[in-house]
Amino acid sequence: MDKEGIKEALYNRYIVPTLKKRDEFVGIEIEIPIVNLSGEATDFKSIREAVNCFCHNFGFEFNGFDENGNGYSATEPVTGDNLSFDCSFNNLEFSFAKERNLKIINERFNLYINSLNEKLERKGHLLTGMGINPGYKVNNNEFLKVPRYQMLEGFLKRCKRWEYPMYFHPYPGYGAFACASQVQLDVRFDKLIETIDTFSLLEPIKSLLFANSWMEDEPDNLCVRDMFWENSTHGINPHNIGVYEKIPDDINELLEYIYRTSIFCTERDGHYLHFHPIPVTEYFSQKEILGEYYENGTYHPYIFKPEDTDLSFLRTYKFEDLTFRGTIEYRSGCCQPFADALSIAAFHIGLSEKLDEVNELLNNDVILYHHGYTSGELRKIMNNRVIPDFIDKKALIKLSVKVLELAREGLKKRVFGEEVFLENIFDRAEKLLSPARKIVNGLENGKTIEDFVYEFAKTA
């Protein structure tokens, strides 16, 4: 394909779905760590037994199996909810079927979590609302023996072989212990650029309120998930990850941005291949590409030629990620304490109803912005344990509360009563106390990580 053909294909894949009239649904995925309460590695056999029992009781039917025949993905046929192990048997993920009302999702979430934890606790384990599995040091962090995850594991671990003028962090297996809370919302063509702009500006506030991925080895970083993506092989091309440092001015510039993201995987002859990321601008001009696939315990080289269908394997992980479904997937949120599991979704839904007001508020802000920092840089600053002196903390509280008030107003317009999911977040804003900051403060004052495992596992 030439450039015009590629851009037309990208337009059809990413932009055309936003032109279609759709019902307004919400899609939510919550990744959750499974913790061995003894402090030892998670016992995969015990975990699978508990999950299998849960699936039998709730009618979830397995539709995905690893190479050893262990079920790792199951769907409930009536609701369409999916339960899966995410990357490894250390993490569980719930992907909820699209709904209009967050309260319906929350009822099912609480039902599932309480039932699973009743079974898991009898086996000395617990699901908890943290963005990092506290057992990451002792767990078996191998990825699932499934082609897609084996491809991903191989790609991330190539940081040990590939030379590149950037810092690679020493946690290429982070997919086995990092957990997110992600929400997908429909986006209209005429609101697409404004939505990306507004929520990019919100990223520092989101970190301040929702950061929940603290780990002992990175004690000053309250949201190591950002670093995991940005300083891994995914971040070789910064257009594939993180914040839009330059907001596209219009749809054409957004297409140019996507045109410069990179492809790093595809399929050939039944093999899931990974390879060094290649920008779309260069990919289809390659005569041949050297990839690798996993089979029989090792990775094998595989030389292939680009094909037009490879564009369907373009994977990006932006904080505001435009998908082929006509949605934006908001990817920067950590798994939250279960009592506030739906707070991230509520935050995004409410503010989607108030784009103009939020944009005006942040573009005129002088508390965070207009100090020479981009939204991405401010996000990193808010991820730090220490808030720098140039930020007036009292004014920062007022700004955060104002953002939450706008979110609450947006939720009230929907008349589902979903504003209840923001109640506890106002308390976080008034104390500048994200879950990760609460953990750090607690550990410094005599609490243990086990205390927080139990506290964050409570659904109410």
Q: How far is the C-alpha of 236 from the C-alpha of 241, rounded, in Å? A: 9
pLDDT at 22: 81
- The reported pTM is 0.96
Q: How far is the C-alpha of 43 from the C-alpha of 40, rounded, in Å? A: 8
Angle, vertex CA 331, rays to CA 329 and CA 336, nearest 5: 120
Whether 367 shows a pLDDT value over 70: the answer reads: yes
Q: Considering only CA atoms, give the Rg of the chain.
A: 22
pLDDT at 189: 96
Average pLDDT, the chain: 96
Residue type, 314: L
Instruction: From residue 61, give the alpha-carbon distance in Å to each of 52, 80, 239, 442.
Output: 10, 10, 38, 41
Average pLDDT of span 330-357? 98
Whether 329 shows a pLDDT value over 90: the answer reads: yes
Spell 288-315 as b/e; 16+ CB within 10 A means b: ebebbbbeeeebeebebebeeebbeebe
How big, in percent rounded to 5, are the helix, strand and coil portions of the chain?
45, 20, 35
pLDDT at 161: 86
Q: What burial class does residue 108 get, using C-beta atoms within 10 Å of its C-beta: 0-12 exposed, 13-18 middle, 19+ buried? A: middle
pLDDT in tens, 383-401: 999 999 999 999 999 999 9
Structure tokens at 236: 């070789």
For the domain with range 26-252+316-455, which CATH number is right: 3.30.590.20, 3.40.50.10540, 2.60.40.1930, 3.30.420.40?
3.30.590.20
pLDDT in tens, 38-72: 999 999 999 999 999 999 999 999 999 999 999 99
CA nearest neighbour of 304 among 262, 277, 267, 276:
267
For residues 385 and 222, the answer to whether their CB atoms sit within 8 Å is yes
For residues 334 and 171, the answer to whether their CB atoms sit within 8 Å is no
pLDDT in tens, 407-454: 999 999 999 999 999 999 999 999 999 999 999 999 999 999 999 999
Instruction: From residue 15, give the alpha-carbon distance in Å to each of 18, 96, 181, 187, 323.
Output: 5, 25, 25, 10, 9
Domain boundaries in the chain? 3-15+253-313, 26-252+316-455
Helix (H) or strand (E) holding 451: helix 449-455
pLDDT at 162: 85
For residues 271 and 293, the answer to whether their CB atoms sit within 8 Å is yes
